Amino acid sequence: MRISKGFGTDVGAGGGQDLVSCTVVTRGVSAHRKATKRLKYAMRRAGAKGLRRALNYLLKETKKVTPKRTGALRRSGEVTIDSNDPPSGSIVFGEPYAVYVHEDLDAKHKAGTYAKYLERTVKNRRHMAVARKMIRDDIAIAQAKVL
């Protein structure tokens, strides 16, 4: 019997969907159920772990270009992971004025910092490629351990 099981993750706005699939080959219904259950659990955990690593990477890159007057805005950035299936997560800047700094395109910022600091990072192809690879790698490692 050949069963194919997929796991997808979406990494933030503008991210895109990556699908990592694997094949489980077993000889009995009982063995198949056990293997599928182990694989599903391992892939869910690995997906959440990879997502957390990817979002922390994106947060680190975002903080580099976040405008800094006192440093409070940069320090307020954090990653949150929801325990949904598949897992989802967010990058949040907790200062009340974060949205104004992000959206004010007319404000003057020091060299190397920008309005739309979070959006620029997420739309950067290189940063998103690294983030997607982190997720894929964690899922592949978990898959190899189970299979």
Q: What pLDDT does 31 receive?
A: 72
pLDDT in tens, the chain (147 residues): 333 333 333 444 344 555 555 555 545 667 767 878 888 888 888 989 999 999 999 999 999 999 998 999 999 999 999 877 778 899 999 999 999 999 999 999 999 999 999 999 999 999 999 999 999 999 999 988 877
Instruction: Summarize pLDDT for 2-20 with one digit per residue, the tens.
Output: 333 333 334 443 445 555 5
Domain ranges across the chain? 2-146
- Let me know the angle formed at the C-alpha of 92 by 109 and 133, rounded to the nearest 5 degrees: 95
Contact 77, 66 (CB under 8 A): yes
